[in-house]
Amino acid sequence: MLWDKLIDIHAVVHEEVVKPVRPVTDTSLAFGNFILERATIDPVTKVAPTKTPTLSWNTVPGAAQYEVWLARVAPAQSRLFVSSSLVNTTEFTPPADLDTAIYRFWVRPLAANGASGAWSLAQTFEVQTTLLAPLNPTFDVRPTFTWEAIPFATAYQIFVRTRTGDIVEAGITETSWTPSQDLPSGPIRWWVRATDSIGNRGWGNPGVTRVDGLSQVIAPTGTVNTIIPMFTWQSVAGAGRYILHVQNVDTGAVVIRQDRLIGTSFTPSSALATGNYRVWVKAIDGSTDLFTTGLWSRPAEFIIAQVIDRQAESPSLITLESLLAEDADEAREREPMELAQRKSSSDQPAVVDRGAEPTTGGVSILEQSLPMSIAIDESEVSLLDAILAEPLLLTVIGV
């Protein structure tokens, strides 16, 4: 969770808690026969990669141990893990998960005779909110958004960005929220931030989902070194089964067609010939089990045993740009259709007769462009994605 303002850790009233005392200006201090240089902390990322990040620094000549001072800066200033602050190596890992907050740490060398060197310059990092769900596609048009509790938060605010506009709900006192209306079909990004006695804090990392049940192929892609590849794809909440469709692009033949796969992986029982392939997957809504409830994924292309100069169409993750619009040609490409209908293009696979098959009739929601009247301002997007993002100036729906 990004916090808008750092509490002044240099305030005298809090100095003994959040900042090492006895500051020095020299880079080293002499104690008897020891000259202990000030340690230099290795750079840290603004956002910790885990809740127990490993902090490290250089070796100080003459140091027998090191003392680490790790403090929570905001909210609720406090020094942490005092009993574990002495280490014999040049790194320190918190012995327990850190809560969502901003942290600052220092280190100083200790000589064998008990003398101590100067405290290092500080490094600051943060641990962000953990979003729980939804983080995969879903068939639920009113999914419940959930996240881990943030210490000292009195309420939460959620920001949901859809293809047809933004939703902001404030004053949420629980760690979950369910929209009161159906969300529009398509990709969705969402953020959560805390509110405390000071006010709203910064947004954390976004969660990515979509409410149309559109999965995507994960593997194989590119050139593979096996003739019996494992096919994997993204799970979809509410899916009762998946359809896997694999086509040999060189011959047009459908080499794999599985209509009732329960899991998110499949390994063929026989080898595939060398050549170029494309693969699609389609999730079917478990509440109806109707073929028409699902959408074909983008095609993923892979090559077996030989490299041919073809431009791969690897499936891409949902990006913010995909929230703006998806052109009709790309949407149509998702649907396997009869090769005879598209002889001019090798991008379209042949389809075996399995009853209800994808057709070209009708217009998918994914073929509709975002109305110009509600186009999303990219400057707002950059603002939200910035590490120290400020809240967007949007009308708050809930209180």
**Of 70, 76, 67, which Cα lies nearest the Cα of 14?**
76
The CATH code of the domain at 12-127 is 2.60.40.10
Count of beta carbons in the 10 Å neighbourhood of residue 335: 19
The CATH code of the domain at 217-367 is 2.60.40.10
Which residue is it, tokens 């990392």?
Answer: 205
Whether 240 shows a pLDDT value over 50: the answer reads yes
Q: Which long-range contacts (CB under 8 A, 24 or more apart) does 320-324 make?
A: 320/189, 320/381, 320/385, 322/187, 323/161, 323/162, 323/163, 323/186, 323/187, 323/188, 323/189, 323/370, 323/376, 324/163, 324/370, 324/375, 324/376
pTM as predicted: 0.60
Query: Which of 44-53, 120-129, 364-373 is predicted with the least confidence, judged by mean pLDDT?
Result: 364-373
Q: Rounded CA gap, 186 and 391, in Å?
A: 24
Whether 42 shows a pLDDT value over 50: the answer reads yes
Question: Quick one: pLDDT at residue 153?
Answer: 84
- 219 forms beta bridges with 232
pLDDT in tens, 159-188: 999 999 999 999 999 999 999 999 999 999
Residues in the chain: 399
Question: Quick one: pLDDT at residue 326?
Answer: 45
Taking residues 84-102, report their average pLDDT.
92
Whether 20 shows a pLDDT value over 60: the answer reads yes
More confident residue, 300 or 35: 300
Count of beta carbons in the 10 Å neighbourhood of residue 242: 24
Question: Quick one: pLDDT at residue 325?
Answer: 43
Bond into 94 cis (ω within 30): no
Taking residues 286-290, report their average pLDDT.
93
User: How much of the chain, in percent, has pLDDT values that exceed 90?
Assistant: 52
pLDDT in tens, 191-228: 998 876 555 566 778 999 999 999 999 999 999 989 99
CB 285 within 8 A of CB 293: yes
* Greatest mean pLDDT range, 85-94, 112-121, 297-306: 85-94
Whether 83 shows a pLDDT value over 50: the answer reads yes
SS (H, E, C) the chain: CCCCCCCCCCCHHHHHHHCCCCCCCCCEEEECCEEEECCCECCCCCECCCCCCCEEECCCCCCCEEEEEEEEEECCCEEECHHHCEECCCEECCCCCCCCEEEEEEEEEECCCCCECCCCCCEEEEECCCEEECCCEECCCCCCEEECCCCCCCEEEEEEEECCEEEEEEEECCCEECCCCCCCCCEEEEEEEEECCCCECCCCCCEEEECCCCCCEEECCEEECCCCCCEEECCCECEEEEEEEEEECCCCCEEEEEEEECCCEECCCCCCCCEEEEEEEEEEECCCCCHHHCCECCCEEEEECCCCCCCCCCCCCCCHHHHCCCCHHHHHHCCCCCHHHHCCCCCCCCCCCCCCCCCCCCCCHHHCCCCHHHCCCHHHHHHHHCCCCCCCCCCCCCC
pLDDT in tens, 98-142: 988 889 999 999 999 888 899 999 999 988 888 999 999 999 999
Whether 365 shows a pLDDT value over 70: the answer reads no
Question: Quick one: pLDDT at residue 174?
Answer: 93
Taking residues 236-248, report their average pLDDT.
96
User: How much of the chain, in percent, has pLDDT values that exceed 70?
Assistant: 66
Q: What's the mean per-residue pLDDT of the chain?
A: 75
All residues at 6 or more sequence positions from 377 whose CB lies less than 8 Å from its CB, including other chains: none
Question: Quick one: pLDDT at residue 317?
Answer: 38
Taking residues 339-365, report their average pLDDT.
37
- 29 forms beta bridges with 36
